[in-house]
Amino acid sequence: MLHTPLTKLLGIRVPVVQGGMQWVGLPKLVAAVSNATQCVITALTQPSPMALRHAIRETRAMTDKPFGVNITLLPTINPPDYEGYAKAAVEEGVKIFETAGNNPGPLIKFFKSQGCLVIHKCTTIRHAKSAEKMGVDILSIDGFECAGHPGEDDIGGLVLLARAAKELKVPYIASGGIADGRGLAGALALGAAGVNMGTRFMCTVESSVHENIKQKIVESNETDTVHIFRTLRNTARVFKNKVSMEVVAIERRPGGAKFEDIRELVSGQRGRIVYENGDPDHGIWSAGITIGLINDIPTCQELLERMEREAEEIIGHISSLSVNPKAKL
């Protein structure tokens, strides 16, 4: 078994957690992942704080294991009632929160004042250190490989995690680019207490994402994502399709683009329909470059058992290299 500060803090067996995923972090998947390890409901996928309360109750009906809630603070078309979502989740008894995005200070302060455990996701060591000062319990260090928003500094996980090992005092987990036991073993070697995965969990039996999209992920490789919003300094890695390529073309026009020029194309409401009707070209949908590593649609339990087994084997092989330097991994 892989014992780390993460497994100890969260009381889980495998040092793997699922982070927030807009339109994907829904009760059925959260319950399935929480039955095997730790997971978060994505707050903003719910239309209101009241709907989040219902999602929390629905998840509880499917698992007796603890689960958390993700709140991400990024530019949105309709600014959400972040405080309302946070209060609703705390009042429903949620004790674990994943925060991400801009100016998380007030939210982190609120959750800590309520005795909650906070995992804060960030893409630079500078932001990680500042969150550490705010009292977060675990940092989720998100490399450039990740789905969604990688920040604007473009640092890959390998360097970011090695820097985290030198700079951070609180336990940190690796996020972005991990989809198998090899990635888990690599993250542990880089000093992480575990890993956070998104895209990999999207492609499981229990994920509500349409089967066509899961198949699309299985068929795709690591060159099938693209960054949008680069010119607006709100970079997001999404699946490369007709809509995302149109957005990139508009952003590259002489004189650039304003958000209004692409608003209809990138709207989250339009992206949500991709997961419902299974048309991969209907709108924008997030995907990490781990799609190059995803070749099947297992149950969450199967996935986690396999990752644990693979990581243990690899760690064992690495140890054996000192006695047999020709051993192949």
In 3D space, the residue among 6, 2, 24 whose CA is nearest the CA of residue 276 turns out to be: 24
Q: Using CB under 6 A, which of the segments 81-89, 152-160, 210-218, 260-268 binds ligand NAD? A: 260-268
Q: Using CB under 6 A, which of the segments 70-78, 105-113, 155-163, 239-247 binds ligand NAD? A: 70-78
Min CB(152)–ligand NAD separation in Å: 12
Q: Using CB under 6 A, which of the segments 47-55, 82-90, 216-224, 266-274 binds ligand NAD? A: 266-274
Task: Tell me if 209 contacts ligand NAD by CB under 6 A.
Answer: no
Min CB(175)–ligand NAD separation in Å: 11
What φ, ψ does residue 51 adopt, rounded to 5°?
-65, -35
Task: Tell me if 148 contacts ligand NAD by CB under 6 A.
Answer: yes
Torsion over CA of 76, 81, 86 and 87, rounded to 10 degrees? 180
Tell me, residue by residue from 112 to 131, as one string, x for binding to ligand NAD by CB under 6 A and - for no binding. Answer: --------------------
In 3D space, the residue among 178, 224, 219 whose CA is nearest the CA of residue 201 turns out to be: 178
Residue selected from 72, 123, 199, 244 as contacting ligand NAD according to rule CB under 6 A: 72
Please name the residue that has the structure tokens 């390998």: 158
Residue selected from 232, 265, 293, 297 as contacting ligand NAD according to rule CB under 6 A: 232
For every residue of 72-137, DSSP letters joined together read EE---SS---HHHHHHHHHHTT--EEEEEES--HHHHHHHHHTT-EEEEEESSHHHHHHHHHHT-S
Task: Tell me if 234 contacts ligand NAD by CB under 6 A.
Answer: yes
Residue selected from 211, 219, 259, 327 as contacting ligand NAD according to rule CB under 6 A: 259
Q: Using CB under 6 A, which of the segments 72-80, 249-257, 290-298, 316-324 binds ligand NAD? A: 72-80
CA separation for the pair 167, 264 (Å, rounded): 42
CA separation for the pair 221, 214 (Å, rounded): 13
Residue selected from 3, 28, 50, 77 as contacting ligand NAD according to rule CB under 6 A: 77
CA separation for the pair 265, 184 (Å, rounded): 35
CA separation for the pair 217, 203 (Å, rounded): 7
Residues ≥6 apart with Cβ < 8 Å to 293: 179, 180, 183, 200, 222
For every residue of 142-172, DSSP letters joined together read E-TT-SB---SS---HHHHHHHHHHH-SS-E
Min CB(276)–ligand NAD separation in Å: 14
Residue nearest to ligand NAD (CB): 268
Task: Tell me if 20 contacts ligand NAD by CB under 6 A.
Answer: yes
Min CB(221)–ligand NAD separation in Å: 22
Q: Which residues are near ligand NAD by CB under 6 A?
A: 20-22, 42, 44, 70, 72, 74-77, 148, 229, 232, 234, 236, 259, 266-268, 271, 286
